[in-house]
A and B are shown apart, each in its own frame.
Chain A
Amino acid sequence: MTTVTQQLDIAKIRRDFPILNETINGKPLVYLDNAATTQKPRQVLDALTGYYEHYNANIHRGIHHLAEKATSAFEASRRRIQAFLNARLSEEIIFTYGSTDGINLVAQAYGRAFLKAGDEIIISTMEHHSNIVPWQMLCEEKGCILKVIPISEEGELRMEEYEKLLSERTKFVSVVHVSNALGTINPVAQIVEKAHAVGAKVLLDGAQASSHLSIDVQALDCDFYVFSLHKLYGPTGMGVLYGKKELLDAMPPYRGGGEMIKEVTFEKTTYNELPYKFEAGTPNIADVVAARTALDYVDELGKEAIAEHEHQLLRYATDALEAIEGLRIIGRAKEKIGVLSFVMEGIHHQDIGVLLDQQGIAIRTGHHCTQPMMQRFGIPGTSRASFSVYNTMEEVDSLVRGLHKVKKMLG
């Protein structure tokens, strides 16, 4: 297949991100912590202020002009996200605070209602704590059993081990689509298929995948999918849970309050229909509205073009970092997004982070909320550079120069 992806004008894209003009310790900011959160383009910032300046109102309940305008912008965002994920129905899109919130919703609402003592839940060694702890809490409460798919030295899921874990006792599989600490892209369609073959439901944690890959929840056939807008050029505090309608319908509500009810009496309350059943209280209207702008921004640049650019950065950075003596890359999966985790012999990751920060270079150091995986690799943590559409080869050069300086200072 030959795909001609148009070349992005990175200099022009950079002008969309006001924060990239910041100086840190007197040096131009080199922001390489995009897996933690991406920066926001002017268009998203304008959408946020535009909402507050022109049509801030509480939604769904008011009949005045502003309430109608806010409601329709809010629901337009839902349809936009439906299209982004290629979901069958817009009511399959539930707004949340983020990936963590979505996973907790499923663990609590689905797990409490449908899982019981002795049922097995499968996760993997490379999960973010957000996709470990909610399941542990559920296991503790219900007596379910947590099983963990091991990973290889390269940082890939050991699929043959996954298959061995699957049985008629397996009731739920929750795995990360793309690893935040390693960048590994997991074979999620295959994971879903195998889980379904034993009758288990599947949640995919798309926190890292959503900004780099095209996602088609119908093609993946996953039962639930979560992601966070703040990792996708959008606002913080806003995320998405996709769930198949028949499952969401069957699940009891998770939080009670306004919005999620049909009728309340002290004797009996009836619940609202999807998606409102899972959206108790006044939602995060401004951020939901601005999320649509973030997705438009991504689609205008084109996900393939973004992925291609990030891939070039990854290849270039991988070669450059490998040339540094004593540096070892953690995570060498064949399929990766633009995430580069590494350790340097005899140097603590915190020292790397502090000394790069002095040079204006922002990376992430530590366990990246994946402590069990760090234990798997026998390391306390890594340093991680993660790339986004606005990063440049020159910034990779700055990182390499910065690391040489770190080595010199600590050597």
Chain B
Amino acid sequence: MSINEIQDELISDFELFDDWESKYEYIIDLGKQLPPLEEQYKTEENIIKGCQSRVWLHTYLEGDKLHFAADSDAIIVRGLVSMLVKVLSGHTPEAIAKADLYFLERIGLHQHLAQTRSNGLASMVKQMKHYAIAYQAVD
């Protein structure tokens, strides 16, 4: 699936929820299901510090596809991280670099990206794009 197809799928998943509780319960579930990042990747280099919670991002290339694995110490951020990984991981650096992430806005979660200082999420997206651009340049 393309990045946009995955985003559209997430958007329609969220259309099922008509109150904040079911929406957040779903995000919390995603957070719980996300496999923890292996300790060896929880390095100082991979950490994205927010004012409130921490996010770790591990990046690797397989063939011509860029992969992400991530984690956070807060569960809701973990759920959001899991969605971002689901959307962006496993695509070519070109596709990731030019991806327009509209799904958070459409499911009403964009405020989590806007709070740049309180969680590492916005920095994580920036970081993912940086890697994609860097890998593009290597090609």
The interface of chain A, by Cβ under 8 A from chain B, is 25, 347-351, 353-355, 358, 365-367, 380-381, 405, 409-410
B119 touches which one: A25, A350, A367, A380 (CB < 8 A)? A350
Between-chain CB contacts (< 8 Å), 25 pairs? A348-B53, A348-B73, A348-B74, A348-B75, A350-B52, A350-B53, A350-B74, A350-B76, A350-B77, A350-B118, A350-B119, A351-B74, A351-B75, A351-B76, A353-B52, A354-B24, A354-B112, A355-B76, A358-B20, A358-B21, A358-B24, A381-B52, A409-B25, A409-B28, A410-B75
Interface majority SS (helix, strand, loop, mixed), chain A: helix
Tell me the total A-B contact number using a CB cutoff of 8 A.
41
Using a CB–CB distance below 8 Å, which chain B residues touch chain A?
Answer: 20-21, 24-25, 28, 51-53, 73-77, 112, 118-119
Query: In the assembly, what is the distance between CA of A350 and CA of B20, in Å?
Result: 17
Main secondary structure of the interface of B (DSSP, over half): helix
Q: Is the CB–CB distance between B52 and A349 below 8 Å?
A: yes
**A168 to B78 Cα, complex, angstroms:** 53
Residue on B nearest A365 in the bound complex, by CB: B52
A410 and B28: CB pair below 8 A?
A: yes
> Bound state CA distance, A358 and B77, in angstroms?
15
**Cα A351 to Cα B112 with chains together (Å):** 12
Chain A residues near B75 (CB, 8 Å)? Answer: 347-348, 351, 410
6 A-B pairs closest in CB distance: A348-B74, A350-B74, A350-B52, A350-B53, A358-B20, A366-B52
Q: Say whether A409 contacts B21, CB under 8 Å.
A: yes
In the bound complex, CA of A314 to CA of B56 (Å): 38
- Whether B73 contacts A409 by the Cβ 8 Å rule is no
**B24, A409: Cβ atoms under 8 Å?**
yes
Residue of A nearest to B119 (CB): A350
Q: Which residue of B20, B51, B53, B118 contacts A25 across the interface (Cβ within 8 Å)?
A: B20
Q: How far is the CA of A408 from the CA of B74 in the complex (A)?
A: 16
